């Protein structure tokens, strides 16, 4: 999965004005979300890959379907929401809420608590 993250970083470097500088991640019950962090004047979500339990490969989430409501790397708070545009290749709608090193991934009616790594 880390190789997928590297591929995302390289692709984003060619197509996004924000320069990818680091990555943060959420893990719980077999779910893995890797978030590429870019930095223009402040940190931004520059890429997101999503892996569900048992999946062999992660799925790159199109940023146009992702809403980042809060991303504060100083206070260590993150709130983002993904809305699936009826694409079966993408995961169901989900949200991720993070405070410090604890996160909650909500998919449908499930709330999955896990660990968040700010690795920046």
Report CA torsion sign: 111, 108, 98, 56. Answer: positive
How much is the pLDDT for 104?
99
Query: For 3-15, what is the mean pLDDT?
Result: 50
How much is the pLDDT for 16?
46
78-113 pLDDT, tens digit per residue, is 999 999 999 999 999 999 999 999 999 999 999 999
61 backbone φψ class: left, alpha, beta (φ>0; ψ -120 to 50): beta
pLDDT band at 4 (very low <50, low <70, confident <90, very high): low
SS (H, E, C) 70-103: EEECCCCEEEEEECCCCCCCCCCCEEEEEECCEE
Range list of H helices, the chain: 2-15
> Whose structure tokens read 């709608």?
93
Domain extent at residue 62: 2-117
Give the number of other Cβ atoms within 10 Å of residue 110's Cβ. 10
How much is the pLDDT for 2?
55
Residue 6, pLDDT above cutoff 60? no
pLDDT band at 39 (very low <50, low <70, confident <90, very high): confident
Query: For 26-48, what is the mean pLDDT?
Result: 92
Q: Above pLDDT 90, what percent of the chain? A: 72
Give the span between the Cα atoms of 109 and 94, in whole angstroms. 10
**Into how many domains does the chain fold?**
1
Give the number of other Cβ atoms within 10 Å of residue 97's Cβ. 19
Backbone angles phi, psi at 12, to 5 degrees: -70, -35
Which residue(s) pair with 26 in the sheet?
A: 33, 116
The pTM of the full predicted model, rounded to 2 decimals, is 0.80
How much is the pLDDT for 86?
97
How much is the pLDDT for 14?
44
């Amino acid at each position: 999965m880390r190789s997928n993250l590297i591929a995302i970083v390289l692709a984003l470097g060619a197509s996004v004005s924000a320069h990818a500088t680091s990555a943060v991640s959420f893990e719980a019950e077999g779910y893995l979300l890797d978030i590429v962090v870019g930095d223009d004047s402040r940190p931004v979500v520059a890429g997101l890959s999503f892996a569900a339990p048992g999946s062999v490969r992660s799925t790159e989430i199109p940023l146009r379907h992702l809403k980042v409501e809060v991303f504060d790397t100083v206070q260590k708070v993150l709130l983002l929401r993904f809305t699936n545009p009826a694409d079966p290749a993408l995961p169901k709608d989900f949200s991720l809420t993070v405070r410090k090193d604890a996160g909650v991934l909500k998919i449908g009616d499930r709330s999955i608590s896990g660990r968040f790594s700010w690795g920046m």
